Amino acid sequence: MYERFVPLRYYLENVLKRPVIIKVARDYETAIYEIGNGLVHMACLDPATYCEVKARYKNKVAPLVMPIGKEGAASRSVLVVKDGSAIEKAADLKGKRLALGNKQSSFSYLIPLAMLNDVNLKIKDFSSVDFLQQEDRVALSVLIGDYDVGAMSKGTWYPIWFPAMLFILTGRDF
């Protein structure tokens, strides 16, 4: 996770002419507490976590930037499988092992639940469902075969894990 923010660190150090320290919170609650109480100056938050900080700490936080990729400023969730998997469509997911991120995550839990619901799949339709807390762990667990399918943001999946994993279901832009 840390490595994903190193280019931003270098950019900020160059622009601000001062050292920048990257700190990855151990969990969502820590991130919410630290940004809400001013213990960190900036945080990369998914939509659900931002809404939670805003609700708890009122006007102490404000959005600063949004990641922009080749497809614009939208973000999406994807359900991914290992390249070469027999799973080719959403209907093939029934009875498989599902890896999710954190229950407070928009992109690795909440939006994927809605995506599954859209294709008439429920959590109970999977043989096992586990929360691995971080999207990188979800990706790795699918890649090494511990899980058949994993949920994450498209930004985590591509370009790091492409082409080793393919997405079989993608959510709407958010």
Task: Please list, in sequence order, all residues whose beta carbon lies within 8 angstroms of the beta carbon of residue 102, skipping any fewer than 6 positions away.
Answer: 27, 28, 108, 109, 131, 133, 134
Q: Which of 1-5, 18-22, 57-61, 130-134 has the lowest mean pLDDT?
A: 1-5
Query: Is 68 contained in some domain?
Result: no
Query: Is 65 contained in some domain?
Result: no
**48 and 125 co-located in one domain:** no
**93 and 33 co-located in one domain:** no
Higher pLDDT among residues 160 and 111, named by residue = 111
Task: Indicate whether 80 pLDDT > 70.
Answer: yes
Q: Which helix (H) or strand (E) holds 18?
A: none
CA triplet 55, 56, 59: central angle to 5 degrees? Answer: 70
Task: Indicate whether 174 pLDDT > 50.
Answer: no
pTM of the model: 0.68
**115 and 142 co-located in one domain:** yes
* Token output for 143: 């890649």
Query: Is 99 contained in some domain?
Result: yes
> Which pLDDT does position 5 carry in this prediction?
82
> Which pLDDT does position 100 carry in this prediction?
97
